[in-house]
Amino acid sequence: MAMTVIEVARRTGRDPETVRRWIRSGKLRASKVGLQHLIEEEDVRSMQLDTSSLPGAFPAGWGSTATGEPMPDVVDLVREGRRGH
């Protein structure tokens, strides 16, 4: 089943522009129908997401506080707060 850029972005938790960059760079295979890129579900599943190369990725060891507790997921906390309004 073919998916649009928006659908791939939702599934991978990335911005649609990031998905378009993956397509332009050849990291993600897509076919173009009119003005829209279509990506096969199998290509999304087989794509290796190396999060260490993404902007904003932290070096190993940065995932815990000074007391050794895991760092809170700040983005998730903000999303939860926004849902409450």
Q: Is the dihedral of CA 60, 62, 65, 66 positive or negative?
A: positive
Weakest-pLDDT range from 20-24, 32-36, 47-51, 69-73 = 47-51
- The Cα 21–Cα 26 span in angstroms is 8
- Report the C-alpha gap between 32 and 28 in whole angstroms: 13
Whether the pLDDT of residue 51 is over 50: the answer is no
Q: How many helices (H) and strands (E) does the chain have?
A: 4, 3
Q: Say what the pTM is.
A: 0.56
The whole-angstrom separation of Cα 76 and Cα 40 is: 29
Between 19 and 48, residue with greater pLDDT: 19
Q: What are phi and psi of 39, to 5 degrees?
A: -120, 130
